[in-house]
């Protein structure tokens, strides 16, 4: 669930009421990616809406550890997203708090962008760090994921792919989902 506030990124999308409405309709895992300024002001609302994971942008706050602890205090999973230009060292002091690292492979805020290949070394380095720490952390990649880019991010170590436009803007979206699942196996 992409959450955008019109400040951190130009677009505006959904908020906690929509997340709560979705929760009423499904027991599926709901991942809320907060692309917002001051994410700490929305944690309690999204937790109350029934999401299973809240991912915050590393660039949106100076207090990642504090916000991750708050997310976890609600008994839900916590993640951090890194924009393409954000260095991996941003994660150094928060590894023990993470359930997910999201590498943005486009600059956030708009769908349908082209994958930035320069993020592949970052994905590999994060995957290596997760293995070295023997941590139970998912490595998610979001942005420009399609048939052509899926294999390279899986090979780099991604465990979760976000392929919005490639699926929803293609008449063969379900076939794409099946082919990506096959690639991952």
What are the pLDDT digits (tens) for 1-43?
999 998 999 888 999 999 999 999 999 999 999 999 999 999 9
pLDDT of 170 strictly over 70: no
Residue 32: CB partners within 8 Å, gap ≥ 6? Answer: 1, 3, 19, 46, 49, 51, 53, 54, 55
Please check whether residue 150 is in contact with residue 161, taking contact to mean a CB–CB distance below 8 angstroms: yes
Cα separation, 3 vs 162, in Å, equals 14
Please check whether residue 88 is in contact with residue 67, taking contact to mean a CB–CB distance below 8 angstroms: no
Cα separation, 184 vs 179, in Å, equals 9
Residue 30: CB partners within 8 Å, gap ≥ 6? Answer: 1, 19, 22, 23, 50, 51, 52, 53
The residues with which 101 forms a beta bridge, in sequence order, are: 80, 139
Instruction: Count the helices and strands in the chain (H runs, E runs).
Output: 7, 7
Cα separation, 107 vs 40, in Å, equals 22
pLDDT of 171 strictly over 90: no
- The whole-number pLDDT of residue 113 equals 79
13 phi/psi in degrees, rounded to 5: -125, -125
Q: Among all residues, which ones are annotated catalytic? A: 2, 142
Question: Binning pLDDT at 50, 70 and 90, where does residue 175 land?
Answer: confident
Cα separation, 157 vs 130, in Å, equals 10
pLDDT of 166 strictly over 80: no
Note if the pTM is more than 0.75.
Answer: yes
What topology does CATH give the domain 2-184? TIM Barrel (3.20.20)
> For the chain, what percent of residues have pLDDT higher than 90?
73
- The whole-number pLDDT of residue 91 equals 97
Which regions of the chain does DSSP assign to beta strands (E)? 2-4, 31-35, 53-57, 77-82, 100-104, 138-142, 160-162
Per-residue pLDDT tens digits for 105-158? 999 877 777 999 999 999 999 999 999 999 999 999 998 888 889 999 999 999
Question: Binning pLDDT at 50, 70 and 90, where does residue 173 land?
Answer: low
Per-residue pLDDT tens digits for 85-100? 999 999 999 999 999 9
């Amino acid at each position: 669930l992409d959450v955008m506030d019109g400040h951190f990124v130009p677009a505006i999308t959904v908020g906690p009421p929509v997340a709560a409405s979705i929760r009423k309709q499904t027991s599926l895992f709901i991942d809320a990616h907060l692309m917002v300024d001051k994410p700490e002001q929305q944690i309690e609302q999204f937790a109350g809406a029934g999401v299973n994971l809240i991912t915050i942008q590393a660039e949106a706050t100076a207090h990642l550890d504090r916000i991750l602890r708050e997310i976890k205090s609600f008994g839900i999973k916590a993640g951090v997203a890194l924009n393409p230009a954000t260095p991996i060292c941003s994660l150094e002091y928060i590894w023990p708090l993470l359930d997910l690292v999201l590498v943005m492979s486009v600059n956030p805020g708009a769908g349908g962008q082209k994958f930035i290949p320069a993020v592949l070394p970052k994905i590999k380095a994060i995957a290596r760090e997760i293995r070295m720490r023997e941590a139970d952390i998912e490595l998610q990649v979001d942005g420009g994921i399609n048939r052509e880019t899926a294999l390279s991010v899986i090979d780099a170590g991604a465990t979760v792919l976000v392929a919005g436009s490639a699926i929803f803007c293609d008449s063969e979206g379900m076939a794409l989902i099946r082919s990506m699942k096959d690639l991952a196996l």
